[in-house]
Amino acid sequence: MVIEPDLSIPRYTATATQLDVLDLVRSGALPAYPPTAAPGTVELAMPEVLRTGSDPVELADLEGVPVARIAVTGTPSGAITHGEPTWLAERSARPFEELHRGPAACTARTTVVALRGPVADAEAQVAVTDAGARPLLLALASLDAEASPTALRTVGQAQRLAASHPGAEVAVAPAPAALGPAEVDAIIRSYAAGRPVHVLGSDELDRTGPGVVVFFTGLSGSGKSTLARSLRNRLLECGRRVTLLDGDLVRQHLSAGLGFSPADRDTNVRRIGWVAAEIAYHGGVAICSPIAPYEHTRHAVRQLVQGRGGRFVLVHVATPLTECERRDRKGLYARARRGEIPDFTGVTAPYQEPTDPDLRIDTTDRDVDSLLAELGTILDGSLR
């Protein structure tokens, strides 16, 4: 039964990871999320704007279709959905939609061969042959509208194996990178239902590599762009895939036509964040260096990136205003103080210092190499 959405209830577009979690609980592949929650319930982090006590919210998919209604509870560390969802509709179709079947819909299952990623064909053939008659080939792959090549190869391999083994069945279970090993094991056990299991492939699941967004924020003249370009060059020299989203270049192309009003500044930074999140989702590194003066906008970008499975590193370039003015080769601060540039951050418009940066650095009397070394201490694990 499909329940009509309630237009009086706030609606939030869930991330791809959140939609996968909802699918897993709804199908019975996960009894609850997280595993410590009550059976049938789902707890998901919600954005600041939805901290509304215990009011319900409707979660929509990436196409805007409301898929579930669930209460939102405020906590000291943020807001979460809490309780058992009311299911409204199926999410919009994904690649291989017909293969997304829950445990109860799978009929083969004499043995389960779980593919956590593509493996050598010879290895896969041996495992399926050893599994005996009527195996279930379970592809663990997150397949939203922009499925990664790894996920697509995993499902494709499961289909090829099934084609060469009469009686074999294929099912796809979403397995976003945010899930821990215990949760992935629980998914496999749900499909196995006590039958033997062969697990093939990498624990990395559906990831092409560690996607990272390094987000520099600070006043004009603080050294953001210099640091961003230097980091980009260093990573390129190490063979990494890097995209630099510099504030000035973004305004020329992605945000052409926007001004410097609070609303336009917010839109510009959110656009940068959306592009950066997509880059991270596909395993790349995005380096951003807008002024980004508003705390709530930076928080929204962090959620965008983390929702796509990337790591978000916020670097506050906390060079003092007096030093920024001293360096000002373009004369922007002088013009702003003469009233020639309205809404200039640090002079006639506010800059809200980050409360939760991963790194706070002052570039006064510092050389670039020492600054990059300090930055490297928090990035090293993500950029290998």
How would you write the pLDDT of the chain (384 residues) with one tens digit per residue?
A: 455 656 678 888 888 889 999 999 999 999 999 888 888 888 888 765 555 555 788 889 888 889 999 887 766 556 677 788 999 998 888 888 899 999 999 986 678 999 998 888 888 888 888 877 889 999 999 887 566 778 888 899 999 999 888 889 999 999 887 788 889 999 999 999 988 998 998 644 444 455 899 999 999 999 999 999 999 988 887 767 789 997 667 877 788 778 888 888 889 999 999 999 989 888 889 999 999 999 999 999 998 898 887 899 999 999 999 999 999 988 999 999 999 998 899 999 999 999 989 999 999 999 999 999 999 888 875 555
How many angstroms separate the CA atoms of 65 and 88, rounded? 9
The contacts of residue 186 (CB under 8 Å, 6+ apart) are 30, 31, 35
Half-sphere exposure of 238 (CA within 13 A, CB side): 12
Phi, psi at 268, each rounded to 5°: -60, -45
Which domains does the chain carry?
A: 11-87 (no CATH), 97-200 (3.40.50.620), 212-383 (3.40.50.300)
Global pTM? Answer: 0.58
Strand order in the sheet with 135-140: 169-173, 135-140, 111-115, 197-200
The encoded tokens of residue 195 equal: 């039958």
Closest by Cα among 152, 153, 171, 164 to 126: 164
- Cα→Cα distances 94→19, 147, 184, 200, Å: 12, 9, 21, 24
How many angstroms separate the CA atoms of 257 and 250, rounded? 11
Place of tokens 């279709």: 65
- Beta bridge partners, 170, equal 137
